[in-house]
Amino acid sequence: MLDTITAKLREAEMERALKQLRRQAQDTLSEVVADRLNNPDEAMWSGVMAGFDAANAEAEQQLRRRMDMAEVYGGEQRSKLQRALRSGVWEDMVRALKEEVADQMVLLKLRSKLEDRFRYDEAGLPRVWRPSDDIDAQFAQARSAAQALLPLFSRIDTSASSTLPQPVSAAVGTFFPPGFDVERSLVLISASRQRELGKRFGREADALYLEAKRAMVTTQNHVPVWVMVLLVLLGWNEAMTILFNPLYLVLTALIAGSAFVLHNLRLWGPAVRAVGGLVNVANDHVHELLVEAVNRTDPGRNRDAPAEGRSRRQARSEEIEMDPLGDSSKDLSVSRSSNSSHSISRSSSKSQLHT
């Protein structure tokens, strides 16, 4: 009974030790994998496998110390624990590698490689394309170098490992546990994914190439030499006139000096806005002068305007008089009837006096 409980406790302790050792090895391998795959070269897998060998050796050393502390002395049990640790460390490394070779990560690495070879020279300085440069050959070389990374990322190369047996399939049962599918874990990018990633990268590379071609065409837009010679020949008389005429010479010097100051102080924007404001003010002033001139030449329009104003004011006053409010309308009607009766009585009295 006591031996059974001890064996269970020992087994639980070894499981905790395996998990802890795998976490430590995973932290080390994640840094190594990220560093080597972000700077891909011919020695990429050599660096990755060297990191795996170092992390695995460190984990096995700590596992042996834990087994001695837990009094695990059985040869088969110790070998089983070591194979479990190795397979766990390997799976953690493969998981970190698959995260680094996801679609977006692979495209980012290929694009970075293309830009390093195409946009920068051997000294790491940005390229400035000139008409004499062979941009097509440079782009073809950079694109080939970037596309060569895709097969490199697709499969793990274990030939540089000093721990894994070669071929790696012979490691099953000795280095890895029996039944461990190590061949399947070597494939990171399948053939179909490689074709799809190649097409997507080709489209991005073409966009970069077209951008560089547009930039080179823009830099080529300069005035030809024969145009400058033609301008000198055709403008020789005008140039002599300006040079030997003091008024033209001073005016030209003022204009050139003003343009030089505006250009160096970057005041073209405020100057254009100020000129636009002056033009608007002058336009308004001229419009007012034209309106006044039209009014002077057509005085009838001015006479009709006051008459129309008076007629409108009279109409408004009549409307006010004809639209009394409230009881005041009754008072006005009573007053009007009384006034009419008084006028009738006066007229009758006058008629009697006349008779």
pLDDT at 314: 53
Question: Per residue in 29-78, pLDDT tens?
Answer: 999 999 999 988 889 999 999 999 999 999 999 988 888 887 777 778 88
Q: At what angle do helices 2-38 and 75-100 cross, to 10 degrees?
A: 30
Question: Per residue in 268-318, pLDDT tens?
Answer: 888 889 999 999 999 999 999 988 888 888 655 544 444 444 454 454 444
DSSP state string for 10-22: HHHHHHHHHHHHH
Long-range CB contact pairs, 197-201, < 8 A, 24+: 197/103, 197/106, 197/107, 197/110, 197/150, 198/147, 198/150, 200/103, 200/107, 201/107, 201/110, 201/111, 201/146, 201/147, 201/150
Do the beta carbons of residue 102 and residue 193 sit within 8 Å?
no
What is the rounded distance in angstroms from the CA atom of residue 29 to the CA atom of residue 49?
10
Sign of CA dihedral 167, 177, 174, 69: positive
| 133 contact partners, CB below 8 Å, separation of at least 6 | 216
Residues in the chain, pLDDT under 70 = 1, 3, 217-222, 298-355
Do the beta carbons of residue 139 and residue 212 sit within 8 Å?
yes
pLDDT at 342: 46
Cα–Cα–Cα angle for 198, 29, 151, rounded to 5 degrees:
20
pLDDT at 119: 86
Count the Cβ atoms, other than its own, within 10 Å of residue 162: 10
pLDDT at 220: 53
pLDDT at 311: 52
